[in-house]
Chain A
Amino acid sequence: MTPVEPGRSAPGLRRAMRRPGIELVPPVPASDDALSRPPSPLEIWIDRAFRHGSRMVAWATVALVFYIVWDIAVVAAPSVREHGLALVTHSTWDANRGEFGILPAIVGTLYTSVLGLTIGTLFGVSVAIFLSEGFLAGGVDTVLKALRLAEHPLWMRLPTGIENLLRMTVELLAAVPSVVYGLWGIFVVIPMVRPVADWLHGHLGWIALFGTTLSGPGILPASLVLAIMVLPTISAISRDALSDVPPKLREASFGLGATRWETILGVIVPTASTGIFGAVILGFGRALGETMALAMLAGNANLISWSMFSPANTLAALLANHFPEAGKLEVGALMYAALVLLGITLLVNVIGTAIVQRADASLKGLR
């Protein structure tokens, strides 16, 4: 073990030095037997058992996914056979008359997700840049230097500490339960956006986006809450992508005379853009499947409207609302809706994963 590995950054090394388990001086073996002794049968057995065990668990997880899809598909099959594509294009959901259509729910799901994602991306990427470019740490560092504390063993940890604290606070948003977001949306967000929405509708009502009044729950409050819910996903992954940009690119950019902003916007963000895009796609997957907060905030009305103040419905909310009391026919249609949602989410996630993988591959030559 060499004391300094070439790829290792200074903080990582410092951490390694502090950790008691790792000794930087290679330990001298007690005797030569310790190295040359072949593994005992028990060790071989444990090794094999572990390998097979983890392989089995891994495959069981994959099998579980297929089992769930298969199970849903079996229940949905009669409905798929009966309604075919009509379920996706029809827009009334009336279990009493056996009319099932999920077009408004599909449109509502995509509308709230895209709007929420747009807002969430704006904030998430900003947070990621702020945290990865050392704005905060740099500022704190300047203050410490002015106070002549920058070399103090305790105070010198402050810049990184504050940055970590902020990062963890943003990521803590992911730990808030969905139902709390829903309640917060009803009691805080809706009353807060109502005056803005009324003004926009009153003055700019001719624009289709502001075409209706906000009666209470609707697409805009749902999207705002959704934006906060996807923010931690987007900021965490974008931050990783941004800090993975090789330092030599930044140095080269500064060396050519670019300012800090020119470097960030012209070099670093474009280099990390595939990673950021992957973060957005993963956030999209999260937004599509969000149920409770949207069931409480979207308004559960089967409407298709351009207006972001209009109530809407989403696939996940439709399932949550109708499943407990559904009869046999309705369960089939709901399972069909679940398959559609699963399909959309799967597609989005596959695209996201592919993009993140390509991002890694394209950066390979730069490292």
Chain B
Amino acid sequence: MRTALTTPWVASFLIWSAACMATPTLAADNITLQGAGATFPAPLYQRWFSEYNKLHPDVQVNYQALGSGAGIKQFTEGLVHFGASDAAMTDEEIAAVKDGVVLLPMTAGSIVLAYNLPDGPKELRLSRAAYVGIFLGKITKWNDPAIAAANPGAKLPDTAITVVARSDGSGTTYVFTQHLSAISDDWKNGPGTGKSVNWPVGVAGKGNPGVTALIKQTPGSIGYVEYAYALQTAMPMATLENKSSKYVKADLEAARRALASVALPADLRAWLPDPAAPDAYPIVTYTWLLCNKKYADPKIAEALKAVIRYGLADGQKFSAELGYVPLPADVATTVAKALDSIS
């Protein structure tokens, strides 16, 4: 039944991608790699691919930032050479891919609580109980005792809190709700973890830009966005309490400490719902590239491996300036080793 809907799409997409690929091959022995997936790392990936293309003009990478779910879908259906997702594929999803899957964590990012509080304090500290309470709709005013307790001496206004969430399904929401579920049973048994959940309160905007616009236009609002995004749009970010009851500012160093505290398992699917390191920022996630274990065309496999190797080595230096966390050196080595299993 699903095929009835997807077939025309698949057909038109194939024609389109064939047309895209045909043109450069006529000119020279060029290779075009097709990829699709997460929007969160897209700025970094696109930077890598364009820089790589400058060094190796014969390899071109098309990356479409369609969203994590769409990335997994297209990758599973074999429409693209590689996919990308903020949520690692589940065992069930991996089993559906014929040519095998290698999951490669490529970069990491943190999710921050950005807010708009015109007469608020310079630094806003939120305890775990406070930010779970806000998103559950139990804390509705900015001068609530639960917020005031962590901000001694700060003048908090008596305005209502407007929670801003993502209206579309997204990896960002998945990582954020996974963290909330890890630290609160009320959240786990209530809205739960997912790419989109049933938010108890507030309004929702489409995509990171939608959430950002709503926060900026709504005094008294708070919402979750990617660190890179909040940084670019210069929004104030809350300082959050982590697992060791320390208040940690959202910055790259704190996020890197969170990554360092978690060892990568053999399949490279490391989740960090609540990192335990003393100075770690609490909401951090890896983001993965999805590759096949075996490619029919060895040229494609070699080109893809070379691009990814570039991203793991030279590419990491673009991370910080774009707001992503560079991979710790040992993680990069492990990932590079996993890369060799692709043929």
Binding site for B on A (CB under 8 A): 71, 74-75, 77-78, 92-97, 99, 183, 186-187, 190-191, 213, 215-218, 295-296, 299-302, 311, 317, 320-322, 324-328, 331
Given contacts A96-B193, A97-B192, A302-B198, contact A325 B217 (CB under 8 A): no
Can you pick out 12 interface pairs between chain A and chain B where the beta carbons lie within 8 Å of each other? A74-B4, A95-B194, A95-B196, A97-B198, A190-B217, A216-B214, A295-B206, A301-B203, A311-B203, A317-B167, A324-B70, A325-B69
Q: Does B42 contact A (CB under 8 A)?
A: no
- Which bracket fits the contact residues of B? 35 or more
> Which B residues are in CB contact (< 8 Å) with A324?
66-67, 69-70, 168-169
Q: Does B162 contact A (CB under 8 A)?
A: yes
Top-3 shortest CB links A-B: A325-B169, A216-B218, A325-B69
Given contacts A96-B193, A190-B217, A325-B68, contact A77 B169 (CB under 8 A): no
**A215 to B220 Cα, complex, angstroms:** 8
B168 with A322: CB separation less than 8 A: yes
> Which A residues are in CB contact (< 8 Å) with B193?
96
Partner of A325, one of B160, B162, B164, B196: B196
Name the residue on B nearest A292 (C-beta).
B206
A96 with B160: CB separation less than 8 A: no
> Which A residues are in CB contact (< 8 Å) with B183?
none
Q: Does B199 contact A (CB under 8 A)?
A: yes
Q: Of A300, A325, A326, A327, which is in contact with the most chain B CB atoms at under 10 Å from its CB?
A: A325
> Which A residues are in CB contact (< 8 Å) with B203?
215-218, 299-301, 311
> Which A residues are in CB contact (< 8 Å) with B213?
183, 186-187, 296
Kindly provide the distance from the CB of B54 to the nearest chain A CB, expressed in whole angstroms: 32
> Which A residues are in CB contact (< 8 Å) with B4?
71, 74-75
**A328 to B3 Cα, complex, angstroms:** 12
A217 with B192: CB separation less than 8 A: no
Kindly provide the distance from the CB of A201 to the nearest chain B CB, expressed in whole angstroms: 11
Given contacts A324-B67, A325-B195, contact A78 B1 (CB under 8 A): yes
**A179 to B178 Cα, complex, angstroms:** 32
Kindly provide the distance from the CB of A321 to the nearest chain B CB, expressed in whole angstroms: 4
Partner of B217, one of A71, A186, A311, A331: A186
Partner of B196, one of A183, A187, A301, A322: A322
Q: Does B205 contact A (CB under 8 A)?
A: yes
> Which B residues are in CB contact (< 8 Å) with A92?
198
Given contacts A186-B217, A216-B218, contact A300 B196 (CB under 8 A): no
Q: Does B5 contact A (CB under 8 A)?
A: yes
B69 with A187: CB separation less than 8 A: no
Given contacts A296-B206, A299-B203, A325-B170, contact A216 B221 (CB under 8 A): yes
- In B206-259, the 8 Å CB interface with A consists of 206, 210, 213-214, 217-218, 220-221
Given contacts A92-B198, A216-B162, A301-B203, contact A74 B67 (CB under 8 A): no
Given contacts A74-B1, A325-B70, contact A215 B205 (CB under 8 A): no
Name the residue on B nearest A310 (C-beta).
B203
Q: Of A74, A93, A295, A301, which is in contact with the most chain B CB atoms at under 10 Å from its CB?
A: A301
A215 with B221: CB separation less than 8 A: yes
Given contacts A325-B67, A325-B70, contact A299 B204 (CB under 8 A): yes
**A328 to B205 Cα, complex, angstroms:** 24
**A74 to B221 Cα, complex, angstroms:** 42
Kindly provide the distance from the CB of B264 to the nearest chain A CB, expressed in whole angstroms: 26
**A190 to B218 Cα, complex, angstroms:** 9
Kindly provide the distance from the CB of B176 to the nearest chain A CB, expressed in whole angstroms: 14
Q: Does B2 contact A (CB under 8 A)?
A: yes
With A75-B5, A99-B198 known, 7 other A-B pairs at CB within 8 A are A75-B4, A187-B217, A213-B160, A216-B164, A296-B213, A320-B206, A324-B69
> Which B residues are in CB contact (< 8 Å) with A328?
2
Name the residue on B nearest A93 (C-beta).
B198
Q: Does B202 contact A (CB under 8 A)?
A: yes
Kindly provide the distance from the CB of A323 to the nearest chain B CB, expressed in whole angstroms: 9
Name the residue on B nearest A78 (C-beta).
B1
**A295 to B67 Cα, complex, angstroms:** 18
Q: Does B197 contact A (CB under 8 A)?
A: yes
B169 with A186: CB separation less than 8 A: no
> Which B residues are in CB contact (< 8 Å) with A217?
203, 205, 214
**A92 to B1 Cα, complex, angstroms:** 26
